[in-house]
Amino acid sequence: MALARAYAVGLVGLAGHVVEVEAHIGPGLPGFTLIGLPDAVLYEARDRVRAAVINSCLSWPDRRMTVSLSPASLHKRGSSFDLAVACAVLGAGGAVPRAALADLVLVGELGLDGRVRPVRGVLPAVLAAVRAGMKRFAVPAANRAEAELVPDAEVLAVRGLAELVGLLGGEVPDDEALDLEPEPDPVLGPDAPTQSGSADYPLDLADVCGQLPARRALEVSGAGGHHLYLQGPPGAGKTMLAERLPGILPPLDLDAALEVTSIHSVAGMLPADRPLLTRPPFCNPHHTASVGAIVGGGSTTIRPGAVSLAHHGVLFLDEAPEFRAGVLDGLRQPMESGEVVIARAQAVARFPARFQLVMAANPCPCGLGDSADELCGCPAMARRRYLARLSGPLLDRVDLRLTVARPSRADLVTVGTGESSQAVAERVALARDRAARRLAGTPWRVNADLPGRELRGRFAPQPGSTTSVERAMSRGQLSARGLARVLRVAWTIADLNGAPRPGLAEVDLALKLRSDGHLGAVV
């Protein structure tokens, strides 16, 4: 009888758990038993592993084999366990030195020809294993750059099972003997979506014609991390403004970059040419998206949704009233908590979801409700019903609301004369730096994170500056949540103006940006 063990990582959301893979070879009829709560994909590993071992010209033990995945109470999912299962079996059969597997974490899917295929979630898997005390990793060659992002991780990148066995045995395999032709990467291939908001981001604010109030609101949104709602007729520039918000946001710090990259890795959306995402992401789902696509979910493997893919970035909902009511209301909880908790019968997954929400909407179904030179044919009831699709509790969580009019002829002939994204980004970075110094030593990063109790205490505005918001509250036009959001925006305006604390002018402007015109009675 022989026993060998290897190590793999099981992921539930972004949380990883080191899994001990034990292989036992004993007397009895030839067979292969896999235990430890594997899912259907992992259960099929027994057939993939056997074919991969044989086609790699390695000896398959023709005896009774039992492979156990521990802890046995944890559900294991996916094909990333293939490499660990194969090495544990080969170790029990004597083809791999057991000592070489003692502290090695193996992550990868096996092809029938012995090729080690790339998998999703390598970065969070390596991060979790390093936190658990593991240092050595064997990963697919296509995932090498992703795994090497983790400090203190010793990464061994392999293309095939025979190559790995040779390396573990101290041999240097011949590239020609491997007979492995390069193939397109199905997970991190060249067609993977690229990230918005890079230094060479092609969308510039200078392309926007006029819209000075909207540009100012966009700057305030970027400086403080505030949610933004733009309402106006088609052609006013709402989408153009939203798409240019990532271009004025500062780059991500290392911790945030690793977190964002981990989410995209789990989702299988990590660009092959950019293993570390250092710019804020931009996610703009279509209005036909389901709740699962926006919030995240899945029946077997839980995947992150758009709110998590936009973590530390921008989630843009164009034609927001066209989204389903359940999808829009599903945004309310992550907007407050900054995370999504997806509960299933077999697992509970947590994904971070601290994003900036930008919504754009027409004033009515025909889109001409706010036009000065065209008549709107929508009945008043149809207009109210259309905008009522954006519920009061959702809008109450939006800091900035603005009516955007169509640009004038004068604005159209002066296109390209406005400030560039680079100029605005410099002011945004300076404002965020002021906020970061003020919030140093606290768990908050931007003004939008400040809780209400702090805005009434050490981060209160200047005395006598809240007269307008007090009047709005007394008339029932401002909720308690709305008051906190007005004060957060006031702090951002103060940071942009270089003021040490918000005064009457900053608070009044913050209230105006929240209650612009006729967007709603309750602000």
What would the mean pLDDT of 319-346 be, rounded to a whole number?
Answer: 92
Contacts of 310 (CB under 8 A, 6+ apart): 281, 282, 283, 353, 355, 356
Number of other residues whose CB lies within 10 A of the CB of residue 130: 17
- With a pLDDT cut of 70, the percent of the chain lying above it is 90
Cα-atom radius of gyration of the chain, to the nearest Å?
A: 27
Residue 117 near residue 110 (C-beta atoms within 8 A):
yes
User: Residue 42 above 70 pLDDT?
Assistant: yes
Q: 464 versus 274: which is more confidently predicted?
A: 464
Residue 431 near residue 495 (C-beta atoms within 8 A):
yes
- Encode pLDDT of 50-99 as tens digits: 999 999 999 998 899 999 999 998 899 999 999 999 999 999 999 999 99
Of residues 392, 401, 397, 314, the one with CA closest to residue 353: 314
Q: 346 versus 74: which is more confidently predicted?
A: 74
CA atoms within 13 A on the CB side of 402: 29
Distance of CA 120 to the CA centre of its chain: 14
- pLDDT in the model for residue 409: 72
Residue 49 near residue 86 (C-beta atoms within 8 A):
yes
104 DSSP β-pair partners: 136
User: Per mean pLDDT, which range of 174-178, 245-249, 403-407, 483-487 is the poorest?
Assistant: 174-178
- pLDDT in the model for residue 196: 38
User: Residue 348 above 90 pLDDT?
Assistant: no
Question: Which letter does DSSP use for residue 345 in this model?
Answer: S
According to DSSP, the β-strands at 228-231 and 356-361 are parallel
- pLDDT in the model for residue 235: 86
- pLDDT in the model for residue 184: 46
Q: pLDDT-derived band of residue 371, with 50, 70 and 90 as boundaries?
A: low
According to DSSP, the β-strands at 282-283 and 136-140 are unpaired
- Encode pLDDT of 113-147 as tens digits: 999 999 999 999 999 999 999 999 999 999 999 99
Q: How far is CA 294 from CA 16, 221, 252, 340, 389, in A?
A: 23, 22, 23, 11, 17
pTM comes to 0.88
Token couple for 369: 């409700």
What would the mean pLDDT of 386-404 be, rounded to a whole number?
Answer: 92
Sequence spans of domains, the chain: 2-178, 205-410
* Largest CA-CA distance found in the chain, in angstroms, rounded: 88
Residue 155 near residue 144 (C-beta atoms within 8 A):
yes
User: Residue 450 above 50 pLDDT?
Assistant: yes
- pLDDT in the model for residue 508: 93
- pLDDT in the model for residue 161: 96
User: Per mean pLDDT, which range of 72-76, 298-302, 480-484 is the poorest?
Assistant: 298-302
User: Per mean pLDDT, which range of 242-246, 376-380, 433-437, 506-510 is the poorest?
Assistant: 376-380
- pLDDT in the model for residue 301: 80
Q: What is the distance between the alpha carbons of residues 65 and 57, in angstroms, rounded to a whole number?
A: 19
Q: What CATH code would you report for 2-178?
A: 3.30.230.10
Residues found in the chain: 523
Residue type, 516: D
- pLDDT in the model for residue 516: 65
User: Per mean pLDDT, which range of 74-78, 222-226, 315-319 is the poorest?
Assistant: 74-78
The 10 Å CB-count burial string (b at 16+, else e) for 339-377 is bbebeeeebebbbbbbbbbbbbbbbbbbbbbbbeeeebe
- pLDDT in the model for residue 176: 43
Q: What is the distance between the alpha carbons of residues 486 and 74, in angstroms, rounded to a whole number?
A: 46
- pLDDT in the model for residue 95: 92
User: Residue 14 above 80 pLDDT?
Assistant: yes
User: Residue 413 above 90 pLDDT?
Assistant: no
What would the mean pLDDT of 321-344 be, rounded to a whole number?
Answer: 93
Q: What is the distance between the alpha carbons of residues 136 and 148, in angstroms, rounded to a whole number?
A: 11
Residue 311 near residue 281 (C-beta atoms within 8 A):
yes
- pLDDT in the model for residue 105: 97
Of residues 80, 93, 91, 78, the one with CA closest to residue 8: 80
What would the mean pLDDT of 377-401 be, rounded to a whole number?
Answer: 90
- Out of 3.40.50.2300, 3.40.50.920, 3.40.50.300, 1.10.10.60, the CATH code matching 205-410 is 3.40.50.300
SS3 content of the chain, % helix, strand, coil (to 5): 40, 15, 45
User: Residue 175 above 80 pLDDT?
Assistant: no
- Encode pLDDT of 182-201 as tens digits: 444 444 443 333 343 334 56
- pLDDT in the model for residue 379: 87
Q: What is the distance between the alpha carbons of residues 309 and 295, in angstroms, rounded to a whole number?
A: 10
User: Residue 517 above 60 pLDDT?
Assistant: no
